Amino acid sequence: MSTLAIARALREAGIDPEHATAVAEAVGETIAETAATRADLAAVELRLSDKITAASWRVIGVVLGGVGGLLALFRVLA
């Protein structure tokens, strides 16, 4: 929603045009400063994907290490 649309909606609701414009600009600035963009979300998705991949490889390493240990133990006991 644009600041013009916000200001128009406020004016139609009976807010003085000067106040409606000021409120709309403040809302617009706040949204621009705090809202995540598609690019922001894509960057977070990429970082999370990398972290999940790294964690998956660590789990695989632990599992394979455990299997190797069990195989070595079976050889000793056999």
Predicted confidence at residue 32, as pLDDT, reads 85
Residue 7 has pLDDT above 90, yes or no: yes
Q: Categorize the per-residue pLDDT at 71 as very low, low, confident or very high, splitting at 50, 70 and 90.
A: very high
Average pLDDT over residues 60-75: 93
pLDDT at residue 49 above 90?
A: yes
Ordered by start, the domain boundaries in the chain are: 1-35, 38-78
Q: What is the pLDDT of residues 15-45, one digit of tens each?
A: 999 999 999 999 999 988 888 999 999 999 9
User: How far apart, in Å, are the Cα atoms of 36 and each of 12, 22, 41, 48, 52?
Assistant: 29, 23, 7, 16, 22
